[in-house]
Amino acid sequence: MKARFLYPAVLLVLLGGLFMSAAPETTATVKGQQSFFDRLATPNDITRFTLTFDIDGLPDMKRSEDYFPATFSHQGENWDAKVKVRGRYRRRVCDFPPLKLKLSKDMLEAAGLQRHNKFKLVTHCSDNFDNADNVLREQLAYDMYRLITGEGFRTQLVQVTYRNAKTGESVERFGILIEDTDEMAQALGGEECDECFNLSQEKYVPGNLEQVALFQYMIGNADYNVKIPRNVKHVQQQAGGQFKIVPYDFDFSGLVDAEYAIPNPNLDQSHIKQRMWIWEFAASSNTLDTTVQQFLSKETAVMQLVDNYPHLSKSSKRQVTKYLGDFYDSLQDGSFMAGV
């Protein structure tokens, strides 16, 4: 009888060894608890990694929705990956457009990590632009949203070495790695809703719409929609629960002031720094005053975040401080009026 149970046991050990050989060993102490993003995250510091793929093929990638093979290298570990170009406008105007990175779920699980496997990578767009501060200012926007609201996408400032798989040539640039949407939704106690269109106002968690609208107004971002989702994700709180929207992609905001950004013609926005109040619902908000007070309570913390922000140039800090100061002045003196 003992011999009959020995063979399955040996088989399980061998299979386990095969799965583990497909990916680098994990440093997680509890299997399945750490995600790939957790592994890379270094709060208050820069994460450095190398992304190797056929950079010469970027023009073809811009015209495709397909993934292309890549290798993700970090701290001596090499992970098989895939990349594709994302975004519509930037794939037209950027020499180096933003990317989406995907790893194998089975490979992650074999390494003892969660199966969250898709990550957005904000890139430098073009060497003709002030790429470092564009990226840093957008990372600042993500940090401000989490500071004010306590939630949102986790992001990591990264220094990426892009290596050409064909020539071996490489270039280093700042970037932003954005966590998997499913991981973000899980942290909010819900799941992403891909088919959420034209939801009524009462479907949302009270105060969430106001927080997002006021934050977008604060940073001067008119490049988003809620009802027909654009640059926001919907998260449903557990089964059948209310919804939250979580914003992302702030490069068209006045705070970032990217050289390639253009005003929103649908809102008659005259310049990229012009703040536009966007409220897509028939009924006015009855909690906006509370949201205004919430933002005012965070003013000192927000300004300190800007003042102490690493790697951001002094001139950018002055510009951002002035831009945010105008916003807070409008809240304090009562000149801010929703819809104006």
User: Would you give per-residue pLDDT tens digits along the chain (340 residues)?
Assistant: 333 333 343 333 333 443 333 444 433 334 448 999 999 999 889 999 999 999 999 999 999 999 999 999 999 999 999 999 998 899 999 999 999 999 999 999 999 999 999 999 999 998 877 666 999 999 999 999 999 999 999 999 999 999 999 999 999 999 999 999 999 999 999 999 999 999 999 999 999 999 999 999 999 999 999 999 999 999 999 878 999 999 999 999 999 999 999 999 999 999 999 999 999 999 999 899 999 999 999 999 999 999 999 999 999 999 999 999 999 999 999 899 765 4
Residue 100's contacts (CB-CB under 8 Å, 6 or more residues apart) are 67, 83, 84, 85, 86, 118, 119, 120, 121
- One-letter amino acid identity for 209? L
Q: Three-state SS for 278?
A: coil
Q: How many residues does the chain have?
A: 340
Name the residue among 119, 117, 242, 249 with its Cα closest to residue 189: 242
Q: Which ranges constitute the DSSP H helices of the chain?
A: 2-20, 36-40, 58-62, 90-93, 105-110, 131-149, 181-187, 208-219, 288-297, 299-307, 314-332
Q: What is the pTM of this model?
A: 0.89
Cα separations (Å) of 228 from 196, 224, 232, 278? 8, 9, 10, 13
Q: 314: which 2 tokens?
A: 């002094």
Find where tokens 């820069």 sit: 46
Start-to-end C-alpha separation, the chain: 81
Q: Is the distance from CB of 123 to CB of 175 less than 8 angstroms?
A: yes
How far is the C-alpha of 88 from the C-alpha of 107, rounded, in Å? 30
Neighbours of 253 (CB within 10 A): 26
Phi, psi angles (nearest 5°) of residue 16: -60, -40
